[in-house]
Chain A
Amino acid sequence: MDVNGPACATCLAVVCPLLRTITPPCSSITTVIVEPPRAGLEAAFLDNRDKLLRFLRARGAGDSAEDLVQEVWLKIAAGPPGPVAAPLSYLFRTADLLMIDRFRSSRQSGVRDRDWGELNAGDPPGVANEPSAERSIAAAQEAASVLAMLERLGPRVAAIFRRHRIEGEAQKVVAEKLGISVSTVEADLRTAYRALAEWKDKSG
């Protein structure tokens, strides 16, 4: 019996034909962020351009550091960050995330090139090697195995990782809510991050 209904493009959830519903926060929950951009960041950027440049170089940007400072600025100008309590921190964080993204995409393209060579020698370029539904399922299974791996580190480690990384709670808030110290939260996060780095060492 074919029980697959249409899949949602954003969250990969498949509509159940029996219930004819899709689980929020997918189609029935849409969130729209309406907030004006902030001017305070502009001043912080102009005042700290050199410092950002130095940070990007230290982060391994090399000759691209100047371009990347510009990219940081474009990100700030384009995105509506809302009121920012600590503009300087916000700038550094934006730069840091930019560098992490660059690293991820360079690593990703390395993996793709290798897989392509191994699996698809002779295929025309530009053709995806898997249909997207199968890719989604593969991603869901990989996510399940990552969740299981985190859980094996202990329920507290897994809960802290989820609260901090998925729900976006600050470490201090996580510590308060769970009634433990911030240093315990940090130690548990190090445990989780260590396992994730090893997972990437193996898979990527």
Chain B
Amino acid sequence: MASDEVREQALAWAVRAGDPAFADWNGFMLWLETDPEHARAYDEVAAGVVDATDLIAAAAPANDDVAEAVPGRRRPWFLGGIAALLAVVAATWVLQAERRDLYTIETATGETRVVALDSGTHVTLAGGSALAFDRKDTRFARLDHGQALFTVRHDAAHPFQVAVGDERLVDVGTVFDVRHDGKELIVAVSEGAVQFNPGDADVRISAGEMLRHTQGSANAVLSRVPVEQIGEWREGRLTFETASLDEVAAQLKRATGIDYAAHGSGTVSGSILTAPLRKDPAQLGPLLGVSVRAEGGRWVIGAR
């Protein structure tokens, strides 16, 4: 066991080096090199943390994200964790029939994930997206930000619902794509139909249609969209139709994990494969007819 002083230093390094943003590996290395005991002290701390994390993650459902539950109905997360553990030990479930039991699945930019909710229903998350699901109700999802393609088994008795901010989407048997960037909500339906805000605006979006809605505005605009373009991001293709530079940058960043940003105004139309951009982010320029320059670790897209 390390001395108190070395233990404290080790704690500080374990906290710092454990953060995904940590970059001072040189400083860490210099501290380690001052005394061989330092590595041992660091290991003792770091291993204890990983042991505890593994133990908790293995025993309790890791996504027990009660902190994200409806405001005013919060309970401390550990109650959820302990309740889950007690349920395991006693083999009984704590029933909470009247409220949502949400957990969040998030993707890093450049990553895609498929979440299967039941045999006929799955959701593909685009990069840089967050969705909340309900443990007790597999017919519900909330898109917090980003984009997802929903493939939903239709069940008239239990329609699948997607919440995006204050808006509601209800499926009428369907495959549909939902994108939520800042205040924009874009829903594109490739099969079946989706009802937008039933009981309020109640707009039906049919296959081959796209709805665009800005948060706070009363209008929702419907337009046509080629069905084959819907969800094509899963295959690494993005198509833009008079899209703003901001929109292009946001979608590219989500798909590739490359830090694209937009500068200035202008619109872009065109279709590109994102894979080659991972090797050379500047290739975007000739492909979409825009200017691309590296600036402080970002790739700035401008009108040409």
Interface residues of A (CB under 8 A from B): 3-5, 11-14, 16, 19, 23-26, 28-36, 38-39, 54-55, 58-60, 82-83, 85-86, 88-89, 92-93, 96, 99-101, 103-104, 107, 136-137, 139-144, 146-148, 150-151, 155, 158-159, 162-168, 170-172, 186, 189-190, 192-194, 196-197, 199-201
List 15 A–B pairs whose Cβ atoms lie within 8 Å, in order of A's numbering. Answer: A4-B91, A13-B88, A23-B135, A28-B138, A31-B105, A31-B113, A82-B257, A93-B22, A100-B46, A100-B50, A144-B81, A162-B78, A165-B18, A171-B21, A189-B15
A86 CB contact (under 8 Å) in B23, B60, B65: B23
- Residues of the B chain whose Cβ atoms lie less than 8 Å from the Cβ of A192: 49
| Interface members, chain B 47-91 (any A CB < 8 Å) | 47-53, 55-63, 65, 67, 76-78, 81-82, 84-89, 91
Question: Assuming A29-B133, A85-B259, A100-B50, is B138 touching A24 (CB within 8 A)?
Answer: yes
A143 and B56 within 8 A (CB): yes
A147 and B56 within 8 A (CB): yes
Q: List the 6 shortest-distance A-B pairs measured between CB atoms, nearest first.
A: A83-B257, A143-B59, A60-B39, A83-B110, A58-B32, A200-B48
Minimum C-beta distance from B22 to chain A (A): 7
Question: Assuming A31-B115, A144-B82, A197-B7, is B21 touching A11 (CB within 8 A)?
Answer: no
Task: Give chain B's interface secondary structure class.
Answer: helix
Closest to B7 in A: A197
- Residues of the A chain whose Cβ atoms lie less than 8 Å from the Cβ of B15: 171, 186, 189-190, 193
B45 and A29 within 8 A (CB): no
How many pairs of residues, A versus B, come closer than 8 Å at their CB atoms? 231
Minimum C-beta distance from A178 to chain B (A): 10
A166 CB contact (under 8 Å) in B32, B53, B115: B53
Question: Assuming A23-B135, A60-B40, is B82 touching A165 (CB within 8 A)?
Answer: no
Closest to B236 in A: A36
- Residues of the B chain whose Cβ atoms lie less than 8 Å from the Cβ of A167: 62-63, 65, 104
B25 CB contact (under 8 Å) in A16, A85, A88: A88
A151 CB contact (under 8 Å) in B22, B76, B86, B92: B76
- Residues of the A chain whose Cβ atoms lie less than 8 Å from the Cβ of B91: 3-5, 14, 16
- Residues of the A chain whose Cβ atoms lie less than 8 Å from the Cβ of B59: 12, 139-140, 142-144
Question: Assuming A139-B58, A190-B11, is B21 touching A151 (CB within 8 A)?
Answer: no
Q: What is the CA–CA distance of A60 and B39 in the complex, to the nearest angstrom?
A: 6
Q: What is the CA–CA distance of A196 and B47 in the complex, to the nearest angstrom?
A: 9
- Residues of the B chain whose Cβ atoms lie less than 8 Å from the Cβ of A144: 59, 81-82, 85-86, 89
Question: Assuming A147-B56, A151-B78, A171-B21, is B113 touching A196 (CB within 8 A)?
Answer: no
Q: What is the CA–CA distance of A144 and B127 in the complex, to the nearest angstrom?
A: 33
- Residues of the A chain whose Cβ atoms lie less than 8 Å from the Cβ of B47: 100, 103-104, 107, 200
A24 and B133 within 8 A (CB): yes
- Residues of the A chain whose Cβ atoms lie less than 8 Å from the Cβ of B33: 58
Residue of B49, B52, B53 contacting most chain A CB atoms (<10 Å): B52
